């Protein structure tokens, strides 16, 4: 729900940073001075001097002074790139120019332009490529498109179709004449199978991301595992030992090191870490090894000539000789926000919460471990966007707090322009039963006994909405919703990872439309039925939406009504307000693990 630090950016000529005050968004400069007052319900970073903002229910664009440039008429709008931006009216997308004129229409999705080209998508989630005039260079018939170096394009139609490599106009690349079963890039290279083995019995080859041939091999004898800096780790497919790999120099065509096991890092600063004969060693570019005393290392490897290694459950920093520059003292290191001068570390506070700090390359602490989270891109235009004391904050490279939002009033309204993921999660009553997932229980509402069954409709499944304000996800306004089984039988509900098939709906354009979406999971174990016994109910907290459209609202809930049959029950109707984007646009979701639904 809360906007992330990831939205931090600058416009280039005049750096602008997103700020938040009383649940509204504005912009400040690099000195922490507010330059555009926090008056927007939603806002995006500046790009090419313009930013998409939403003051009421629709998006428009402002310039760096805060002056409206393009009128608010879009359900959703994206940043400008190469003079064009993709924006939606309803769920219909179009590219617009800096005056708000429609330049290219007819696509449901549109990426940013890069070198005069952009990937676009149809309603059927099929993708193609266009130029700045809207001309289709590659038709929207592909399940996946990947832009590579030198304007090359990887295309995949789906099902049993092979990947195709073409130029940006869709013409097949010459290498396709001799290969089949091309795999998309991994670690900066592609693997392909030759249509016919060559004179040396090689039946496969490696290509770099510009389709240049790197290495040919026989896949019956060799299997590539990692490529970097002109060196590749190879192993024998039939070998079962943990140290069956070897390091091969592609330039000199010679084996540099044998007995390699797991190696998740590539070469950087002419160094990498490898497991050799069950021991972690530091490996030079020529294959020589440097013995080590540490028992683990950060998989980001060497950055700026340094790497972090673990010894005695603490991390320290070494140079390319393996010498400690900073003795082991940190509980953990954030791998990907490092700079040449600084790095971020974390340690637990007295309450057991992870806090983030920053130190320089001598080990001097610049920011003590006091930050809740930091932006993924680290410092931008000299400032670090972060959360400190649960408040959006900006800190400079000397550790000085440049700006911090005032603590917002409790229970902010849920003013969004996208569909939330289904939030109605419940558990069954496991009293007297063995719990299969012991650690997963008691997180969600359990069934409660109905105290007075006479106050509800007899022999009925009922959803009752109580409009009194309660917290939703601690910080937002919500209300109570009860799912009541006042029948004499147990009712089964289809669920996905404890999530009921339940949606809030709005009555718009003479029909009831969902305001939330139910995610899918590839794992069959995510799906089961949750029973609600007779005479019991669940009580849930649901969001109190706020928006520009006044509507009638209700809840819909599906339940099992017999073998392969479903029933549907609706709540009482109530008044509310929403934003147009909630009728069709799904919110962004970043999977946290392989069990996380799409």
206, 208, 214, 218: CA torsion to nearest 10: 0
Q: Whole-angstrom Cα distance, residue 300 to residue 295?
A: 16
Helix (H, G, I), strand (E, B) or coil at 526: helix
Confirm if 553 and 531 have CB atoms less than 8 A apart.
Answer: no
State the pLDDT confidence band at 192, using cuts at 50, 70 and 90: very high
Give the model's pLDDT for residue 368: 96
What pairing do the DSSP bridges indicate for beta strands 254-260 and 24-28?
A: unpaired
Helices and strands of the chain, counted as H and E runs: 0, 54
Q: pLDDT tens for residues 309-335?
A: 999 999 999 999 999 999 999 999 999
Q: pLDDT tens for residues 329-364?
A: 999 999 988 999 999 999 999 999 999 999 999 999
Q: Report the percentage of the chain scoring pLDDT > 90.
A: 70
pTM reported for the whole predicted model: 0.89
- Look at 443 and 545; give whichever has higher pLDDT: 545
Write the DSSP assignment of 543-570 as a string of letters. Answer: E-B--SEEEEEEEEEEEEEETTEEEEEE
Other CB atoms within a 10 A radius of the CB of residue 16 amount to 25
Q: pLDDT tens for residues 356-406?
A: 999 999 999 999 999 999 998 899 999 999 999 999 999 999 999 999 999
Q: Where does 473-509 show beta strands of DSSP type E?
A: 476-485, 491-496, 499-500, 502-508
The domain made up of 420-583 is a member of CATH 2.60.40? yes
Give the model's pLDDT for residue 438: 47
Residue span(s) of the chain under CATH 2.60.40 come to 420-583
Q: Report the percentage of the chain scoring pLDDT > 70.
A: 92
């Amino acid at each position: 729900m809360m906007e992330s630090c990831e939205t931090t950016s600058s416009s280039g000529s005049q750096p602008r940073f997103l700020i938040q005050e009383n649940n509204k968004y504005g912009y400040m400069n690099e000195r922490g001075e507010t330059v555009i007052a926090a008056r927007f319900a939603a806002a995006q970073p500046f790009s090419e001097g313009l930013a998409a903002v939403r003051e009421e229910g629709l998006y428009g664009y402002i310039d760096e002074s805060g002056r409206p440039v393009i009128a608010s008429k879009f359900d959703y709008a994206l940043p400008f790139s190469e003079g064009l931006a993709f924006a939606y009216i309803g769920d219909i997308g179009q590219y617009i120019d800096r005056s708000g004129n429609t330049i290219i229409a007819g696509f449901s999705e549109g990426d940013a332009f890069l070198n005069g080209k952009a990937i676009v998508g149809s309603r059927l989630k099929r993708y193609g490529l266009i130029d700045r005039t809207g001309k289709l260079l590659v038709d929207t018939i592909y399940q996946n498109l990947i832009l590579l170096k030198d304007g090359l394009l990887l295309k995949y139609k789906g099902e049993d179709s092979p990947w195709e490599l073409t130029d940006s106009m869709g013409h097949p690349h010459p290498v396709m004449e001799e290969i089949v079963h091309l795999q998309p890039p991994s670690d900066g290279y592609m693997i392909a199978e030759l249509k016919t083995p060559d004179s040396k019995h090689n039946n496969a080859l490696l290509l770099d991301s510009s389709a240049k041939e790197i290495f040919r091999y026989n896949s019956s004898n060799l299997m590539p595992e990692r490529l970097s800096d002109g060196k590749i780790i190879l192993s024998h497919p039939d070998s079962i030992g943990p140290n069956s790999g070897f390091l091969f120099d592609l330039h000199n065509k010679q084996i540099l090191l044998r007995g390699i096991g797991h190696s998740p890092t590539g070469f950087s600063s002419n160094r990498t870490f490898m497991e050799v004969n069950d021991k972690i060693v530091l490996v030079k570019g020529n294959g020589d090894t440097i013995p080590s005393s540490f028992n683990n290392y950060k998989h980001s490897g060497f950055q700026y000539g340094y790497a972090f290694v673990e010894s005695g459950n603490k991390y320290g920093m070494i140079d390319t000789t393996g010498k400690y520059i900073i003795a082991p003292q940190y509980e953990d290191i954030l791998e990907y926000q490092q700079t040449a001068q600084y790095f971020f570390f974390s340690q637990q506070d007295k309450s057991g919460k992870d806090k983030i700090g920053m130190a320089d390359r001598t080990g001097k602490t610049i920011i003590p471990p006091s930050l809740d989270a930091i932006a993924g891109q680290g410092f931008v235009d000299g400032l670090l966007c972060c959360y400190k004391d649960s408040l959006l904050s900006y800190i400079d490279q000397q550790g000085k707090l440049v700006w911090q939002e005032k603590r917002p009033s409790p229970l902010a309204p849920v003013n969004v322009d996208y569909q939330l993921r289904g939030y109605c999660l419940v558990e069954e009553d496991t009293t007297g039963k063995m719990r299969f997932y012991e650690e997963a229980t008691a997180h969600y509402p359990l069934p409660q006994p109905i105290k007075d069954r006479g106050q509800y409709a007899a022999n009925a499944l009922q959803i009752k909405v109580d409009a009194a304000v309660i917290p939703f996800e601690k910080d937002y306004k919500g209300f109570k919703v009860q799912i009541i089984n006042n029948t004499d039988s147990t009712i089964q509900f289809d669920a996905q990872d404890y999530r009921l098939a339940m949606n809030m709906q709005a009555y718009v354009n003479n029909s009831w439309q969902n305001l939330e979406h139910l995610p899918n999971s590839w794992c069959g174990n995510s799906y089961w039925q949750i029973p609600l016994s007779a005479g019991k109910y669940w009580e849930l907290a649901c969001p109190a939406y706020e928006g520009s459209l006044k509507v009638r609202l209700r809840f819909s809930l599906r339940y099992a009504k017999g073998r392969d049959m479903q029933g549907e029950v609706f709540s009482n109707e109530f008044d509310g307000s929403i934003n147009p984007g909630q009728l069709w646009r799904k919110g962004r979701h970043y999977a946290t693990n392989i069990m996380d639904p799409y």
